Amino acid sequence: MDSKTAALPSEEGAAANDPAAPSARGRATSAGPFPVRPPARGEPLTEVAKTEPAAVAELVARARAAQVAWADTPLQDRAERIAKVKQRLLARAEEIATLLHRECGKPIEEAALAEVLPNADLIDYWTASIEELLDASPVDLDPLAYPGKVGRIQRDPRGVVALITPWNYPVAIPLRTIVPALLAGNAVVFKPSEITPRSGALVVSLFDGLLPDGVLSIAQGGSDVGAALVEADVDLVVFTGSVATGREIAVACAARLIPTSLELGGKDSAIVLGDCDLERAARGVVWGAFTNAGQNCASIERVYVERAIADRFIERVVALTGQLRPGVDVGVMTTARQAEIVRRHLEAAVAGGAEILAGGAPSEGSLAFPPTVLRVEREDTPLLQEETFGPILPVLVVNDAEEAVARTNASRFALTTSLWTRGYERAHALARRLRSGVVTINNHGFTGALPAAPWTGAGDSGFGVTSSPHALAELTRPRFLLEDRSRARSELWWYPYTPALRTIAFAMARARGGAGLLGRIGALVELVAALSKRLLGR
């Protein structure tokens, strides 16, 4: 979704004087293009300073210098330091929620529930489990074929991680990478969205005094700063944002053989089956569509409901949507650019025959986009093909679950899908046929807050993984370490290559299954004779 990228064209801003500004390890150097008008109105936002693109390489160089010593710091020490962030986060809960309300326009309750409390669980999970998750694992080696040899796999840090995140969850999303990346021994250079630079600075400030200088730094700015970070001497790029920008990052990193972790949005569907708990399904779908004003990669942007209950379900969804209070239950949209995209999608759908059942477009220029429900017949419209990222809920009637699964899988996005049914066995069977990286039954979207559950997708949703031990596959790299305790003068397969060695090789092939029973017995006899010759150096 273009609006989700952290590399948007810059908006008007002013000079730096932000109480949430980072410490000297990542301080910006000049006035930059950051918004000062809060989307929910009120007092102007504090000014923020921009990091010059030319200064990004220096931040990365300092991170690289600091990372070596940080990785050598005992893991328990790293965990104890980062565990202290939990108390700081919770102690500043109201400050964080208020800033998110002012900078993003989301309700304060929603900010606290989505971006403060789950991150306390995140810190608990990673600091409690990281030692076990990074523990070296032994590799079984055949003692006859490889005598005296012991092998193990350890997980080493990537090095310097470049983290670029969007504005829709500007505290929660970066912490999902920063916490495990630091615990794994990486240094992180973090570029928040220029739409929410103050939230990004606050995230970094939670670690003040806990980390060596340079281990965590912030680069404030727009697409030019993001590009400079991707092009710098980093070892991994973690990006959440638009498909277009994600592709550009993937190409740039591929040219330098640098791994990437990309989460690029969704067009999530809810499949509502005839045997569902209709009241729960309607309430869950309404929340899943309109939380954070629909500015969520896991927002429900398509509902496929079985014909048998379609009229009753739609009626209830419309009634519940009408009960949502503007500015209380549903906040304003964060940017005018995004509101305009949502407006265009809505207008195109209506022009194509969609019927508005609740809500509708606000007055021109307003960010207070009301929750809107439509009944849609055709899918050849941007509202059903592209990520809308706004408070629009299209409902389509299908004949059965088979049709709903087929339509869900036809999308180029495959992030999350929810199934609403009382038939759990059937739901599990349907889930196995969905392309989505996350499937929920009788709930939607909240699993991004579960630190032990992987958050990932396929197709244009990207292939990155955050949360769960699976995230460490990206934040670390496996290193195999072999110890050879053999006292033999030479290995069997070392020089010189001789007729006896050739006999051994082919006799081993027959003995290990390349011949029948009698052939294997004969091969063992050959092996004994040839090994004796080999031991004598022949």
Q: Which residues is 373 bridged to in the sheet?
A: 358, 393
Encoded tokens for 12 = 């008007």
Q: Which residues is 302 bridged to in the sheet?
A: 269
> Of 110, 115, 194, 263, which is the active-site residue?
263
Q: How many CB atoms lie within 10 A of CB 12?
A: 9
Torsion-angle region of residue 148: left (phi > 0), alpha (psi -120 to 50) or beta?
left
Please tell me whether residue 284 adopts helix, strand or coil conformation.
helix
> Of 297, 306, 386, 387, which is the active-site residue?
297
CA distance linking residue 399 with residue 466, whole number of Å: 36
- Terminus-to-terminus CA distance in the chain, angstroms? 68
Residue with tokens 């959440």: 240
- Catalytic site includes residue 263: yes
CA distance linking residue 239 with residue 165, whole number of Å: 6
- Catalytic site includes residue 104: no
CA distance linking residue 148 with residue 125, whole number of Å: 38
Q: What does the H/E/C string look like for 57-94?
A: HHHHHHHHHHHHHHHHCCHHHHHHHHHHHHHHHHHCHH
C-alpha distance from residue 129 to each of 135, 297, 466 (Å) = 10, 28, 15
DSSP one-letter code for 513:
I
Q: Which helix (H) or strand (E) holds 303?
A: strand 300-306
Backbone angles phi, psi at 375, to 5 degrees: -100, 125
Residues with a catalytic annotation lie at 263, 297
